[in-house]
Amino acid sequence: MSTVLGIVGSPRKKGNTSVLVSQLLRGARSSGMRTETVYLADLVIGECDGCHRCWQGAACPKNDDMYTLYTHISKSDAVVFGTPVYWFGPTALMKLFLDRFVYFNCPENRGKIRNTRAVLVAPFEDEDEETALPLVSLFEKSFAYLEMELFDTLLVPGVTKPGEVRDKHEVMKKAFDTGKNLASC
């Protein structure tokens, strides 16, 4: 049975990012996939110092929650990266998490993530989708570099109030269908 890991990089637990990631995971479960959700706001993740100890087979000097996440990510067939757009990029929570993917960049760990399917979910206040382009570019380049498969990108402009994305029925259907379609790969 395939596993989908949902990463919520928003500080709002009941916000639009959480709603969308939950809907996508619901779709995945409807196709028989196992799912798990991680709220980055609940974890302690330190910044990457660029020491490259992980590349030398040594443990990261950061003794934080990324150790557990490395295992969860490695065992997942797909990872959903959910973040609202903050200042044309991801939240600081998501950026800290993504920076620590240097662990997967070393040759010994690359196989743990290679070919993992990735979905990007990004709600944001602005009505113009171009607002999200720097964020999309960051993730596209990161996934390509790590040899992950970008399965889908779900951009949702024009949402401000926590949870209001529930009223966007087409978006909610797309999130559900994206999750459901993860099983067909």
Residue 124 has pLDDT above 70, yes or no: yes
Q: Find where tokens 């030398």 sit.
A: 56
State the Cα–Cα distance between residues 185 and 180, nearest whole angstrom. Answer: 10
Counted residue by residue, the chain has a size of: 185
109 within 8 A of 73, measured Cβ to Cβ: no
The per-residue pLDDT for range 162-178, each reduced to its tens digit, is: 989 999 999 999 999 99
Q: What is the pLDDT of residue 53?
A: 86
Mean per-residue pLDDT, 13-30:
95
Per-residue pLDDT tens over the stretch 90-113: 999 999 999 998 888 888 888 899
Interatomic CA distance for residues 40 and 19, integer angstroms: 15
pLDDT score of 185 more than 70: no
Model confidence, pTM: 0.94
Q: Which of 37, 118, 113, 25 is nearest to 73 (CA)?
A: 113
